[in-house]
Amino acid sequence: MKGRTVILDHLEGREAAALMVDGALDDLFLAGHAPPPGTIYRARADRPVKGQGGMFLSTPDGPAFLRQVKGLAPGDTLLVQVTGYAEPGKALPVTAKLLFKSRYAIVTPEAPGLNISRRIRDDDLRDVLLEIAHEVMDGADHGLILRSSCEGADPGEIAEDIAAMAGVAAQVMGDAMGAPERLLDGDGPHALACREWTAPAEVVTEPGGFARHGVIEAIAAARAPHVPLPGGASMHVEPTRALVAVDVNTGADSSPAAGLKANLAMARALPRALRVRGLGGQITL
């Protein structure tokens, strides 16, 4: 099946979204059991970690850890945002540099300025987008980044998106004092798919979409370490506790150029292989 298809469904009782490109699984979002990245807390500083320049914080969902702390004392209150998923038994990784992301815009508190993605190179379009940004953000203290998804989008939708996200940012930033509290939930898989998969695509929302479009089989295949590559080559993607190991094999081709061909094929296929497996961090080839 050619083209891009976004399927919004549930997997094992959890919200999930899959992006299929030409019949192959290209990306996958699956709801976890921990607070998702983007969640914002009003947190309380608990105790510093000497030698690491960090601070443990208290949140309603358990301890969090903030790196590169300056001028923060135990008992202080601050706003933080979850940056990733914590391993079981470990503190939530957070940052004090909050970002409010939407489909077309990123509102940046305490980082003023209006900016446009460098991927948008049409000067006339950049002028139009700057005009929209100045009109909507007039008088606002926050900064704004317009994303590459603005290219080809309706100006009215862009303006509405900016205004909505600026309103959320103003509300959250104005609620910095008080006891630890979750102020904003991070986007779930369906909202994240709408925000990040912006290229034109067929969108399937009916229940059972994963089964009808082969997503379940593709996920099962992604759980195996073996990834076939063009020309008979292959790679194995295997996570360990410390890193993700990638082993490339040339297969039956024993020509002098086989290694180069296999490595080039691996370089093209590896980003997708990591995405659908939910892997990241240190990659060793």
Query: Beta strand 92-95 with 62-66: parallel, antiparallel or unpaired?
Result: parallel
The predicted pLDDT at position 89 comes to 84
Residue 118 CA, chain-centre distance (Å), reads 19
Across the range 116-139, mean pLDDT stands at 95
Residue 49 CA, chain-centre distance (Å), reads 28
Across the range 232-240, mean pLDDT stands at 92
Domain 40-97, CATH: 2.40.50.140
Q: In this structure, are residues 45 and 75 in contact, taking their beta carbons and an 8 Å threshold?
A: yes
Residue (of 44, 41, 42) closest to 75 by Cα position: 44
What are the tens digits of pLDDT across the range 164-193? 999 999 999 999 999 999 999 999 999 999
CA–CA dist 193, 209 (Å, integer): 15
The predicted pLDDT at position 204 comes to 95
What are the tens digits of pLDDT across the range 29-54? 999 888 999 999 999 999 998 877 89
CA–CA dist 189, 195 (Å, integer): 10
With a cut of 70, say whether residue 1 has pLDDT above it. no
Across the range 128-146, mean pLDDT stands at 93
Rg, Å, the chain Cα set: 22
What are the tens digits of pLDDT across the range 70-109? 888 899 999 999 999 888 888 999 999 999 999 999 999 9
Residue 115 CB burial class (10 angstroms; 0-12, 13-18, ≥19): middle
Residue (of 267, 266, 284) closest to 226 by Cα position: 266
The number of residues in the chain equals 285
Q: Specify the pTM.
A: 0.87
The predicted pLDDT at position 248 comes to 93
Across the range 263-274, mean pLDDT stands at 92
CA–CA dist 81, 69 (Å, integer): 14
Instruction: Please report, for residues 70, 149, 283, the alpha-carbon distance to residue 36 in angstroms, rounded to integers and kept in the order given.
Output: 26, 23, 23
